[in-house]
Amino acid sequence: MTMGYGITTLHEISHMYNDLEDQSVIYGVPGPNEKVINTIRTELDTTGSFKLSFGQRKSYSPLDVGGVNFSPFSSEAYKKGPSKVDP
């Protein structure tokens, strides 16, 4: 859900209405637009309406792990990196 249709739509709307860009090449940098979306994730978490946390997208650019994209949604996941990649 943290990268589902709803959040993705908000991300694209934020491009248009906030005139913000993505950080496209540096792993570990969320970029200005995704920072806005992380604020929305935080606000959704504070409602207490969801069983799982939305997390915080730590990097706009995913890490390519053998052809599989890894996107960390916590500082711990960012530090550890992918622990398992299913083929």
- Shortest separation between residue 77's beta carbon and Zn ion, angstroms: 20
The two counts, helices (H) then strands (E), for the chain are 3, 2
32 binds Zn ion, rule: CB under 5 A:
no
Distance between CA atoms of residues 15 and 30, nearest Å: 14
Other beta carbons less than 10 A from residue 54's beta carbon? 20
29 binds Zn ion, rule: CB under 5 A:
no
22 binds Zn ion, rule: CB under 5 A:
yes
Residue 19 or 86: which CB sits closer to Zn ion? 19
Q: Where do contacts with Zn ion occur on this chain (CB under 5 A)? A: 22
